[in-house]
Amino acid sequence: MKIFAVGMNYAQHNKELDGALYIPEEPVIFTKADSALLKDGKPFFVPDHLGRVDYETELVVRICRLGKGIPERFAHRYYDAVTVGIDFTARDLQQRLRKAGMPWELCKGFDGSAAIGEWIEKEKFLDVQALHFHLDINGKTVQEGCTSDMFFKIDRLVSYISEFFTLKTGDMIYTGTPAGVGAVSIDDHLIGYLEDRKVLEFNVK
């Protein structure tokens, strides 16, 4: 099982991070270790040594068949379900790594950094490229997004990633976060929604 993630896929998030609108020419792809996966409502333990850790709420796609070099027009055949996930990011460390032009894995792929919700079959929705999702922390909505605002749509991401990696059943793609990211604190209670469905719920320890 591989965990792929997409950076800088929403305009307003790019602007909130850098103060200017950045439009990538190609998808920005990174990976997370399999030990990053946090599922079944288990708590997220904030690593003491990483400084500020931010939530990044994202639509996540589940790959359902083997594929390599997938044409974009056929990409919809290669995923069968979606959910909401949290791409936890060690923000202080990320800023240092970005400044030095270094890879992101240390700030993005640490243990527990890929929270994942309950999978919903994509056929339950009219259009996966027009899905609304949001995150509540302690009863307050802190982040909202819609997949229609992505620079690179789901089918494009599946096709692009498959140019470099063989996609296998069970692989996941975190498709990027909209604006509104922020730090988590111990004792926070997080609930993620896909449209009106609660698909993700856990505590921060």
DSSP string, 93-143: HHHHHHHTT--SHHHHSSTT-EEE---EEGGGSS-GGG-EEEEEETTEEEE
In a domain, 134, yes or no: yes
**Three-state secondary structure call for residue 27:** coil
Q: What is the DSSP letter of 56?
A: -
In a domain, 98, yes or no: yes
Q: What is the Cα–Cα distance from 18 to 15, expressed in whole angstroms?
A: 5
In a domain, 45, yes or no: no
In a domain, 44, yes or no: no
**Three-state secondary structure call for residue 18:** helix
53: β partners: 90
The answer to whether the beta carbons of residues 90 and 110 sit under 8 Å apart is yes
* pLDDT recorded at residue 141: 98
Q: Which of these, 110, 105, 73, 86, lies nearest to 174 by C-alpha position? A: 86
The predicted model scores a pTM of: 0.95
In a domain, 61, yes or no: yes
* pLDDT recorded at residue 17: 67
Amino acid (1-letter code) at residue 191: I
* pLDDT recorded at residue 194: 98
Domain range spanning residue 7?
Answer: 3-38+51-204
In a domain, 140, yes or no: yes
Number of domains in the chain: 1
For the chain (length 205 residues), average pLDDT per consecutive 10? 95 68 89 97 95 97 98 98 98 91 93 98 96 98 97 98 98 96 97 97 98
Per-position DSSP letters for 151-185, written without gaps between them: SS-HHHHHHHHHTTS-B-TT-EEE----S--EE--
In a domain, 43, yes or no: no
Long-range CB contacts (within 8 A, 24+) of 69-73? 69/162, 69/163, 70/158, 70/159, 70/162, 70/167, 71/159, 72/155, 72/156, 72/158, 72/159, 73/155
* pLDDT recorded at residue 19: 67
Q: What is the Cα–Cα distance from 104 to 29, expressed in whole angstroms?
A: 10
Provide the CATH number for the domain around residue 94: 3.90.850.10
Amino acid (1-letter code) at residue 166: T
In a domain, 120, yes or no: yes
Number of DSSP helices (H) and strands (E) in the chain, helices first: 4, 15
